[in-house]
Amino acid sequence: MSFSSPSSKLNIVILAAGKGTRMHSSKPKVLHALAGRPILQHVLETARKLNPSKIIVIYGFGGEAVPQALPESDITWVKQAEQLGTGHAMQQALPYLETDARTLILLGDVPLLELESCERLLAEKASLALLTVVKQNPTGYGRIVRQQQSVVAIVEHKDATETQRAIQEVNTGIMAAENAWLAQWLGRLDNRNAQQEYYLTDIVALAVADGQAVAATQSTDEWQVAGVNSKQDLAALERVYQHRYAARLLAQGVTLADPARIDVRGLLKVGRDVEIDVGCVFEGEVVIADNVRIGPYCVIRDASIGAGTTLAAYTHIDAASVAEDCRIGPYARLRPGTVLAGHAHIGNFVELKNAQVDTGSKINHLSYVGDATVGKEVNIGAGTITCNYDGVNKSRTVIEDRAFIGSDTQLVAPVTVKAGATIAAGSTITQDAPADRLTMSRVRQFTIENWKRPEKVKK
Ligand code: UD1
Ligand code: CA
């Protein structure tokens, strides 16, 4: 068998069976979160962009926790019950590889690897291609041993001579190989080495022995090939991820008060002239239209914010949609199912849950509005509460257009306040309030004439 040109069909194997002892956690390493999702999820996202015909994940430590956490249907899960080395891990994948394909081997704990690095590696015309990196301190890594220019072997740190340990070019663990060759080399591995493991890296010397040129392409970006081995590594990679995300937002024209103080844990889509103050966290999929201003310390998850809307400090939005030119916060909380039409004002200490609020309505202070339909140009006074829950069932409150709800009102659902109705402050409304009338329910004010405040009795 000789090498002609790389197979166009691609398999991807992700090695993720390791324990990650230094994480000091009972959770498998690859399930720890980076930017809000499992480390392994990041590797899978990059893998998918290469349109492979197969994605195989080798799992082991933590049992079924890993496949259960990532129930995507395009993954072939292969269990490595005992972790006898990276070569042993690849041997488990072998029965699932397609004979007419090549395989890109990725590491489940290297989350910042980008598509272009994979493409550069796959562009190498060789039956085995390695992604290497030059490290100031190469301790612990497999060293790339070259004769003249050619790669002839990888020697693991623990097996290396003093001279070899001086080599600064190291194996990232990421490589690509023709499956026909890979099958042969994996079949010939042994564990006669310092760690008594089956080293995947030994396939390099086997390839050379078979007369196959081994290509090596160097990564110039250490972070892209950095693995997570500890919580310190995880925290460092998280900051790099966030720094890079912020840099992309700046490049798109977003104004960030401080690019070091924004966290995006998902996808953030932004329009033009968006301003984001410090300490904001974006989770899931968030879409922000033009001219939106977001004050400090807002937490926004799975939401869309319409053009020209302002979110003041400490606003929390979860699974809600806000249309254009709204003014929200500070200290407002929009919970799932909330939909605000344009020009709404939602002020401090207002909680909305599954509330649909139409154009121009205002709920400015200290209110709970849940399971409610609020019409246009409605004014809801301070301290208004929709009593939507009777201990068993949830019921809806309907407040029609131009209604005015006085402060400190309880609306006991199901109940409707008709268009243009006014509710007097301090009312408890249990029946529908008619349109364009004043409705109240409170004890009339009276004064006790001969009353005196009690005085302290001296003993
Ligand atoms: C490995 C490489 C080393 C390289 C380094 C880069 C070998 C023998 N050595 O060393 O040349 O410089 O990565 O970080 O390959 N895994 C399994 N099953 C196993 C063992 C490991 O799935 O039985 C997985 C781990 O989960 C991890 C990856 O393979 O994702 C690498 O394993 P690790 O133990 O970190 O390898 P190193 O000894 O660091
Ligand atoms: Ca490692």
What is the structure's pLDDT at 4?
Answer: 62
The whole-number average pLDDT for the span 298-303 is 99
Q: Which of 40, 42, 86 to mutate to test the pocket of ligand 1 (most atoms within 8 A of CB)?
A: 86
Q: Where are the domains of the chain?
A: 9-225, 231-439
Task: Mark whether 365 is an active-site residue.
Answer: yes
C-alpha 434: how far from chain center:
48
The whole-number average pLDDT for the span 434-452 is 95
Separation of alpha carbons 360 and 356, rounded Å: 12
Look at ligand 1, atom 13, and give the residue with the nearest C-alpha: 173
Does residue 244 register a pLDDT over 90?
A: yes
What is the structure's pLDDT at 209?
Answer: 98
Residue 6: pLDDT band (50, 70, 90) is: confident
Question: Percent of the chain having pLDDT more than 90?
Answer: 95
Look at ligand 1, atom 26, and give the residue with the nearest C-alpha: 18
Residue 3: pLDDT band (50, 70, 90) is: low
Separation of alpha carbons 87 and 80, rounded Å: 11
Does residue 415 register a pLDDT over 80?
A: yes
CB neighbours of residue 248 within 10 Å: 11
Separation of alpha carbons 104 and 245, rounded Å: 26
Look at ligand 1, atom 11, and give the residue with the nearest C-alpha: 142
Residues lining ligand 2 (ion), CB within 5 A?
Answer: 227
Catalytic-role residue among 24, 32, 88, 365: 365
What kind of architecture, by CATH, is found in domain 9-225?
Alpha-Beta Complex (3.90)
Residue 136: pLDDT band (50, 70, 90) is: very high
Does residue 365 register a pLDDT over 70?
A: yes
CB neighbours of residue 84 within 10 Å: 18
Does residue 339 register a pLDDT over 70?
A: yes
Rg of the chain over Cα atoms, rounded to whole angstroms, equals 31
- With 0-12 / 13-18 / 19 or more C-beta atoms within 10 angstroms meaning exposed / middle / buried, residue 220 is exposed
- Report which of 337, 343, 349 is spatially closest to residue 373, judged by C-alpha positions: 337
The whole-number average pLDDT for the span 228-240 is 97
Residue 459: pLDDT band (50, 70, 90) is: confident
With vertex at residue 71, the alpha carbon angle to CA 65 and CA 74, rounded to the nearest 5 degrees, is: 130
Contact of 372 with 386, CB cutoff 8 Å: yes
Does residue 2 register a pLDDT over 80?
A: no
- How much distance in Å is there from the Cα of 307 to the middle of ligand 1? 48
Does residue 269 register a pLDDT over 70?
A: yes
For 231-439, give the CATH class: mainly beta
What is the structure's pLDDT at 1?
Answer: 53
Residue 8: pLDDT band (50, 70, 90) is: confident
Ligand 1 binding pocket (C-beta < 6 A) is 15-18, 58, 80, 83-86, 88-89, 107-109, 141-142, 154, 156, 170-173, 199-201, 227
What is the structure's pLDDT at 30?
Answer: 96
Does residue 97 register a pLDDT over 80?
A: yes
- How much distance in Å is there from the Cα of 165 to the middle of ligand 1? 18
The whole-number average pLDDT for the span 361-383 is 98
